[in-house]
Amino acid sequence: MMLECKNLSKQYKRGVKALDNFSGNFTCGIYGILGPNGAGKSTLLNMMAQLISPTSGKILFGGRDISLLGSEYRKQIGYLPQNPPAYAWMSARQFLEYMYQIKEINGKGHSVDEALEWVELTDRANDRVKNYSGGMRQRLGIAQAVLGKPKILLLDEPTAGLDPRQRALIKNLLRMLAEDTIILLCTHIVSDLADIADEILMIRSGKLLGMLPPDEWLKRLDGKVWWVCENEKYLNDYPTAIRSLRAGQSGLRIISALPPEGAVAAAPTLEDIYLQCFMERCDDE
Ligand code: ADP
Ligand code: MG
């Protein structure tokens, strides 16, 4: 089934245009939404989760307007908000069982035990959430989102507060679910998407800059990334220049169509793409 966004815009009451004429089609797979703070990522996910309504435009699921599908649509959704509420007095198992009831899962899809296992909380399942670390709460948030095998999984900065091993655990889980789930994941951490995203969307000031598979993004910078020995002048000349060590030698990584004098070619990375897309400073938040 396809999720389609058609010319979505969101204007908050006394605010900026948080999302501006966004269109995109999503099928099973992982879509990584990248953009600086304030770009409109959470606004987009909140509209897909039907927590806020668009000022204009619409969202279709299986060809039908989600505002008409209502709870029939919402039952297909797993959602992890950016700041997940913590039910501190409950144990993780109680919380998941409670969510299981609310979502009216009734034996369909993944069970509470399975979800606990996936996020490695089985051993601590009977502890109260108030005694959990930030990373454990975050993993519990992910567990409630994947409960019951939703068709659409919306994850707002899912890896916040997780260490590299836990990030890998969550990446594995998402890759496994991606086969038959539409997964939208927003983040400003580029490395969260490396190796797992089928497509990457770049959003700046509410506008979609592009939606492409990672290799296609990388091709855009083929032959345009360079490394030169430390040079103060280049720091001013190239807005994306960043200090970078190469075999222990200090230098600069530079994005430029023409090679700076004395430069050697470097392989483009997603970080380079991010820098190129979001060169200006963003002080929105
Ligand atoms: P992101 O998740 O990419 O950091 P958001 O979607 O949270 O961005 O925010 C996009 C823009 O909309 C920001 O400028 C933000 O300040 C503004 N915004 C978000 N929520 C509200 C709200 N409830 N009322 C007014 N403005 C908001
Ligand atoms: Mg956000």
Query: What pLDDT score was predicted for residue 234?
Result: 87
Higher pLDDT, 282 or 112: 112
Nearest to 154 by CA among 18, 10, 32: 32
Q: Name 159's Cβ contacts closer than 8 Å, sequence gap at least 6.
A: 138, 166, 167, 170, 187, 189, 192
Q: pLDDT digits over 237-246, tens only?
A: 888 888 889 8
From CA 143, how far away is CA 138, in angstroms rounded? 9
Residue 66 is inside which H or E element, if any? Answer: helix 66-69
- Best of 42, 45, 154, 187 to mutate for ligand 1, by most ligand atoms within 8 A of CB? 42
Q: Give me ligand 1 centre to Cα 233, in Å.
A: 37
| Residue 227 belongs to domain spanning | 223-267
35 lies in the same domain as 103? yes
- Best of 8, 9, 11, 16 to mutate for ligand 1, by most ligand atoms within 8 A of CB? 16
Q: pLDDT digits over 14-25, tens only?
A: 878 999 999 999
Given a cut of 80, whether residue 255 has pLDDT beyond it is: yes
Tokens of 215: 């290799």
110 lies in the same domain as 152? yes
Report CA torsion sign: 227, 232, 238, 239. positive
Beta-bridge mates of residue 202? 34, 210
**Per the domain annotation, does 99 fall within a domain?**
yes
**Per the domain annotation, does 275 fall within a domain?**
no
Residue 192's pLDDT band (cuts 50, 70, 90): confident
Query: What pLDDT score was predicted for residue 274?
Result: 92
52 lies in the same domain as 103? yes
